[in-house]
Chains A and B, each alone.
Chain A
Amino acid sequence: MLKFLLQGLTRPPLTEAPPAPEDAELAALAARLQAAARRRLGRSLSIREVDAGSCNACELEIHALNNAYYDVERFGLRFVASPRHADVLLVTGPVTNNMRQALERTYNATPNPKWVVAVGDCAIDGGCFAGSAVVEGGVSKIIPVDIHIPGCPPPPLETLKGLLTLLEQM
Chain B
Amino acid sequence: MPALHDIIREGRLIAGHRPWPRAMVSARQWQLAAAEAADGRLTLSGLWGDAGVVHMALLDEESGAAAVLSLECPEGRFPSVGRLHPPAIRLERALRDIHGLEPVDCPDPRPWIDHGAGAPYPFLTAEGDSLHQIAVGPVHAGIIEPGHFRFTANGETVVRLEERLGYVHRGIEKLMRGAMLEQGAKLAERVSGDSTVAYALAFARAVEAALELEPPPRALYIRGLMAELERLANHLGDIGAICNDASFAMMHAHCGILRERVLRAADGCFGHRLMRDCIRPGGVVKDIDGAGLALLEALVKDIRSYFPALVKLYDNTASLQDRTVTTGILKPALARQYGAGGYVGRASGRAFDVRRNIAYPPYDELEFDVPSLSDGDVNARVWIRIREVEQSLSLIEQMMARLPAGPVITTLPRCAGEGMSLVEGFRGDVLIWLRLGDDGRIARCHLRDPSWFQWPLLEAVIEGNIVADFPLCNKSFNCSYAGHDL
Which A residues form the contact surface with B (CB < 8 A)? 1, 3-5, 14, 49-64, 66-69, 79, 81-83, 93-94, 96-99, 101-102, 106, 128-129, 131-135, 152-153, 155
Contact = CB atoms under 8 A, between A and B. Distances in A.
A99 to B, nearest CB: 5
Q: Which 9 A-B pairs have CB atoms at the shortest separation, nearest pair first? A: A57-B193, A81-B141, A67-B256, A132-B171, A55-B193, A134-B171, A55-B190, A56-B193, A49-B143
A138 to B, nearest CB: 13
A30 B443 CA distance: 49
A50 to B, nearest CB: 6
Given A68-B257, A99-B168, A153-B274, A63 B193 contact: no
Contacts of B256: 64, 66-68
Given A3-B309, A61-B273, A67-B259, A99 B138 contact: yes
B356 interface: no
Contact of A58 (B142, B187, B193, B313): B193
B482 A102 contact: no
Contacts of B481: 56
Contact of A106 (B139, B166, B259, B309): B139
B169 A1 contact: no
B145 A59 contact: yes
Contacts of B166: 98
Contact of A51 (B144, B263, B267, B316): B144
A57 B146 contact: no
B432 to A, nearest CB: 16
Contacts of A131: 175
B146 A56 contact: no
Contacts of B254: 4
Given A94-B170, A132-B171, A132-B172, 14 more contacts: A51-B145, A52-B146, A53-B169, A55-B193, A56-B480, A60-B194, A81-B142, A96-B167, A99-B138, A102-B167, A128-B187, A132-B174, A134-B171, A153-B193
A134 B169 contact: yes
A63 B142 CA distance: 9
Contacts of B263: 64
Contacts of B387: none
Interface in B251-296: 253-254, 256-257, 259-260, 263, 267, 273-274, 276
Interface residues of B, number: 47
A68 B276 contact: no
A60 to B, nearest CB: 6
Interface string B215-237: 00000000000000000000001
B115 interface: yes
A1 B253 contact: no
B379 interface: no
A60 B480 CA distance: 12
Contacts, number: 132
A69 B263 CA distance: 12
B106 interface: no
Of A5, A56, A99, A101, which is in contact with the most chain B CB atoms at under 10 Å from its CB? A56
B192 interface: yes
A1 B174 contact: no
Of A55, A66, A97, which is in contact with the most chain B CB atoms at under 10 Å from its CB? A55
B150 interface: no
A119 to B, nearest CB: 11
A50 B194 CA distance: 17
B305 interface: no
A134 B274 contact: no
Nearest to B186: A128
Contacts of A57: 190, 193-194, 196, 274, 276
Contacts of A153: 193, 274
A68 B313 contact: no
Given A99-B168, A152-B276, A50 B139 contact: yes
Given A4-B313, A102-B167, A56 B174 contact: no
Contact of A59 (B141, B143, B196, B313): B143
B271 to A, nearest CB: 12
B411 interface: no
B453 to A, nearest CB: 19
Interface in B238-258: 250, 253-254, 256-257
A40 to B, nearest CB: 23
Contacts of B193: 54-60, 153
B168 A53 contact: yes
B144 A59 contact: yes
B130 interface: no
B257 A67 contact: yes
13 contacts: A1-B317, A5-B250, A51-B139, A51-B145, A53-B169, A57-B196, A59-B145, A94-B170, A98-B115, A102-B146, A133-B171, A152-B276, A155-B273
Nearest to A58: B193
A57 B192 CA distance: 7
A169 B282 CA distance: 47
Contact of A129 (B167, B175, B276): B175
Contacts of A54: 145, 168, 193, 482
B298 to A, nearest CB: 13
A3 B254 CA distance: 13
